[in-house]
Amino acid sequence: MGQTGPGEEKESHKGLRFFLVGVRVIGVISAFLVSQFHSDPLFFPTELTAYRWALLGLVLFYHLVAGVLVSLINNKLMSSLLIAADVTIGLGCTYLYGEGYFLLAFALPVLSICATFGVTAALVAGVMGLMFYGIIYARPLLDKAVDKQISSDVLTLKLSLTGIQAAISLLMTWLFSIAVSEGRKAKIVKSEAKKEADLLYQQLSERTENVELVYAEMTDQEAQVKKLAKEVAHLEHELQEAYKDVAKARMDLTKREDQAEEKVSRISDELVRERQMLEEQAQRVERELDHRNRTLEGFRQLLGSLVLEETLLALVYYLQARVPSAVCVVFMKEDVQGVSYLYPEVADAEDTDFFRELAIPAGETSVGFVAATGNPVLIANGRTEINGHPVEVLENQGLSAIILPLINPADGQVMGVVYLGRAQANAFTTEDLDLVEEFLDLAGLAVARCLEFRLRAGGGLHDMVTGLHNGMYLAERMEEEVRRGRRYTYPVSLLLVDVDNFTPMAERLDPEVLDNVLRQLAGLLLEAIRDTDVAARIEGDDFGILLVHSDRDSAVPIGERIRQEVADTTFGTPGQPLRLTVSVGVAGVPHDASDAQRLKEAAFGAIAEARANGGNRVATFPR
């Protein structure tokens, strides 16, 4: 049986406190009855006889106060003091007044110890109490029996009464311990029951919340179901109305179909005619739209470059796509010493050699006539007559031709002439003439842009001494012509001209005389080439000539003519004449190179070959 603390048990088992109070009351009453109100005390001093009842009153008052304290206090120290007081007063009363107070001297302290310190402490206290009781009570009683002061019957009765009281005390202690243990068990059971009840309550609360959530969801769903039911009812009503409308519409449709069949039978012919007209109009609009788109695309290509040659090539490409011809040539007008000439700038024809050296004065042949008058001409079969003036196709360039001026829209001046020729007679129509004329109105703007750009840019691309183009311009034109030559499969050649032993000569000449020599040499170069070719002073005594539409084999005679002219000419001044020789290097595309950089390198290699062989000679790129 386990021990329990006084504070815990008194706090947990308040009923046991009142049990201790009852033991005090019963013990006092039993002690009075057994001792017959102290009529025969075991030992009582004579000097205290007069205070017998006062002592009795004090005993009663003590047990009254102790009983109140037992029911109120919950402190081990106070409980220990009360136990000590109970033992002292109980033993004193038992000694003074007899065995009737044994219950208060033995049982009451043991019960208090059991309630405060546990059952084990109570048993120890009980054993010690019995030992003290034997010493305090039994020894005087035996002494009286020996001295014949009491009889054997009285001794037996007193011992029996003492045993009964001891047994009762032990029984009460045992019952009290059982009550304490049961109370503790009851508390544990009650605590566990409370925990289970709290757990059940918590689970019940959670389930209640779940039920409330489910109920709320069911309420929402019920509301949604009601709402859907209303919507379904509304939709059913609308569906019924729709069925009615459909039925009515079917009746109207049947009626209108009948009417439509009658109308269709009346207007079917009109619809067929209108459809044919719309299809014809659509075809015309589609053709016109295609024409406009192709015209705009061609004009966009013309505007894509500020280089005149590229613009004219784009013009030829467009004309050949729209009005395919055996001969398509663009002549550009140039003034030479006050006389206007037409030079073929770009030509797409089988006989390109015919146009390479061609220069037509304005007013002569059909091309010159169109340049002079600014009016387009259509030649159906070899020749035609305009205001008494005969106009013929170019020699050996077919029987049919359309010839149109290329006019600057800013000032209305003729910038050039476009010639289209076909081998067959009557091969061109007035529609072809109108189509080309319409596009040339736009092309004039693009060509005028290029000429303006060349005029403005040319001032910064010329050599200040000779008036020739400079090396930068030559490099740009070489890039353009080589790229264009690869595209349209025509050759391009480069001549490099270098004065032999120029450095010693330059050191002994005055700068003005040297500049005059360079200008004379530039004039010889210009006389030896065509207007379509490009002559440039690269630097110092190095000159370059770009020959367009000339392969390397055609360029070598031109280089030889330049070399001979320089050798036969007297340079300088009458007072300081000079004789010069030059070395010429020749390279061409596609013979020696495939791009501008390799063409330049090949020409430098050729002139190095000429110098290595003594100068005053023409050399080609060594293989």
Same domain, 326 and 448: yes
In eight-state DSSP terms, residue 496 is: E
Residue-level pLDDT at 90:
75
In a domain, 516, yes or no: yes
Sorting pLDDT into bands at 50, 70 and 90, what band is 377? very high
**Domain final position from 422, 441, 457:** 457
SS3 call for 589: strand
Residue-level pLDDT at 4:
46
Structural domain of 391: 308-457
Tokens read off for 305: 């470059």
Highest mean pLDDT among 74-78, 120-124, 260-264, 587-591: 587-591
Q: How far apart are the C-alpha atoms of 504 and 207, rounded to whole Å? A: 119
Give per-residue pLDDT as tens, 472-496.
888 888 988 888 788 778 899 999 9
| Type of residue found at 309 | E
Q: How many CA atoms lie within 13 A of 449 on its CB side?
A: 15
Give per-residue pLDDT as tens, 13-22.
455 666 777 7
Tokens read off for 106: 């033995």
SS3 call for 419: strand
Same domain, 414 and 487: no
In a domain, 198, yes or no: no
Residue-level pLDDT at 623:
67
Same domain, 331 and 185: no
Query: Do 351 and 490 form a contact (C-beta atoms < 8 A)?
Result: no
Task: Give the dihedral of Cα atoms 220, 222, 224, 226; nearest 10 deg.
Answer: -150
In eight-state DSSP terms, residue 104 is: I
In a domain, 590, yes or no: yes
Same domain, 537 and 602: yes
Give the total number of structural domains in the chain.
Answer: 3
Residue-level pLDDT at 6:
43
Query: Do 502 and 541 form a contact (C-beta atoms < 8 A)?
Result: yes
Q: How far apart are the C-alpha atoms of 41 and 31, rounded to whole Å? A: 11
**Domain final position from 457, 478, 495:** 457
Q: Which residue has the higher pLDDT, 461 or 539?
A: 539
Residue-level pLDDT at 159:
63
Q: How far apart are the C-alpha atoms of 613 and 607, rounded to whole Å? A: 10
Give per-residue pLDDT as tens, 400-443.
999 999 999 888 899 999 999 999 999 999 999 999 998 888 88
SS3 call for 255: helix
Mean pLDDT of 308-315: 86
Query: Do 548 and 488 form a contact (C-beta atoms < 8 A)?
Result: no
Radius of gyration of the chain (CA): 72
Q: How far apart are the C-alpha atoms of 493 and 529, rounded to whole Å? A: 12
Same domain, 524 and 416: no
**Residues 347, 292, 371, CA angle at the centre, nearest 5°?**
40
Q: How far apart are the C-alpha atoms of 559 and 188, rounded to whole Å? A: 131
CATH number of the domain within which 490 lies: 3.30.70.270
Kindly give, in sequence order, each residue whose CB lies less than 8 Å from that of residue 153, ignoring residues fewer than 6 positions away: none
Number of other CB atoms surrounding residue 221 within 10 Å: 11
The pLDDT > 90 percentage for the chain reads 22
C-alpha closest to that of 129 among 113, 142, 145, 140: 113
SS3 call for 43: coil
* Chain length of the chain: 623
Same domain, 480 and 453: no
Q: CA 365: distance to chain centroid?
A: 70
In a domain, 509, yes or no: yes
Rounded to whole angstroms, the maximal C-alpha distance in the chain is 201
Tokens read off for 616: 């005053």
In a domain, 225, yes or no: no
Among 25-29, 341-345, 577-581, name the one with the lowest average pLDDT: 25-29
Give per-residue pLDDT as tens, 170-212.
666 666 666 666 666 666 777 777 787 788 888 888 877 877 7
Q: How far apart are the C-alpha atoms of 208 and 216, rounded to whole Å? A: 12
Residue-level pLDDT at 190:
72
Same domain, 538 and 393: no
SS3 call for 558: helix
Query: Do 333 and 450 form a contact (C-beta atoms < 8 A)?
Result: no
Tokens read off for 25: 């009351």
Tokens read off for 294: 């192709």
Tokens read off for 455: 């005029």
Residue-level pLDDT at 158:
63
Q: Answer yes or no: is pLDDT of 519 > 50.
A: yes
β-strands 582-589, 618-620 pairing: parallel
β-strands 582-589, 492-499 pairing: antiparallel
Q: Answer yes or no: is pLDDT of 593 > 80.
A: yes
State whether the Cα torsion 199-204-205-206 is positive or negative: positive
Per-chain mean pLDDT for the chain: 79
Q: How far apart are the C-alpha atoms of 403 and 330, rounded to whole Å? A: 10
Query: Do 134 and 162 form a contact (C-beta atoms < 8 A)?
Result: no
Q: CA 492: distance to chain centroid?
A: 54
Residue-level pLDDT at 297:
77
Q: Which residue has the higher pLDDT, 343 or 99?
A: 343
CATH number of the domain within which 323 lies: 3.30.450.40
Highest mean pLDDT among 61-75, 242-256, 258-272: 242-256
Mean pLDDT of 548-564: 92
SS3 call for 339: strand
C-alpha closest to that of 567 among 580, 583, 584: 580
The pLDDT > 70 percentage for the chain reads 76
Query: Do 584 and 477 form a contact (C-beta atoms < 8 A)?
Result: no
In a domain, 90, yes or no: yes
**Domain final position from 162, 191, 220:** 191
Same domain, 40 and 140: yes
Give the 3-state secondary structure of 52-81. HHHHHHHHHHHHHHHHHHHHHCCCHHHHHH
Residue-level pLDDT at 506:
83
pTM summary value: 0.38
Tokens read off for 508: 């002994």
Q: How many CA atoms lie within 13 A of 428 on its CB side?
A: 29
C-alpha closest to that of 547 among 605, 479, 491: 491
In a domain, 227, yes or no: no
Sorting pLDDT into bands at 50, 70 and 90, what band is 214? confident
> Peptide bond preceding 45: is omega within 30 degrees of 0, i.e. cis?
no
Same domain, 474 and 377: no
Q: Answer yes or no: is pLDDT of 563 > 90.
A: yes
β-strands 534-539, 469-470 pairing: parallel
Q: Answer yes or no: is pLDDT of 10 > 50.
A: no
Residue-level pLDDT at 3:
47
Give per-residue pLDDT as tens, 129-172.
667 666 656 666 666 666 656 666 666 656 666 666 666 666 66
Residue-level pLDDT at 513:
86
Mean pLDDT of 55-78: 72
Same domain, 484 and 597: yes
Residue-level pLDDT at 194:
79
Same domain, 557 and 444: no
Tokens 């009346």 belong to which residue?
266
In a domain, 336, yes or no: yes
Same domain, 473 and 513: yes
Sorting pLDDT into bands at 50, 70 and 90, what band is 2? very low
Q: Answer yes or no: is pLDDT of 300 > 90.
A: no
Give the 3-state secondary structure of 110-169. HHHHHHHHCHHHHHHHHHHHHHHHHHHHHHHHHHHHHCCCCCHHHHHHHHHHHHHHHHHH
State whether the Cα torsion 364-366-371-377 is positive or negative: positive
Instruction: Provide DSSP, 356-414.
Output: HT--EETTSHHHHHHHHH---EEESBSEEEETTEEEEPPTTS-SEEEEEEEE-TTT--E
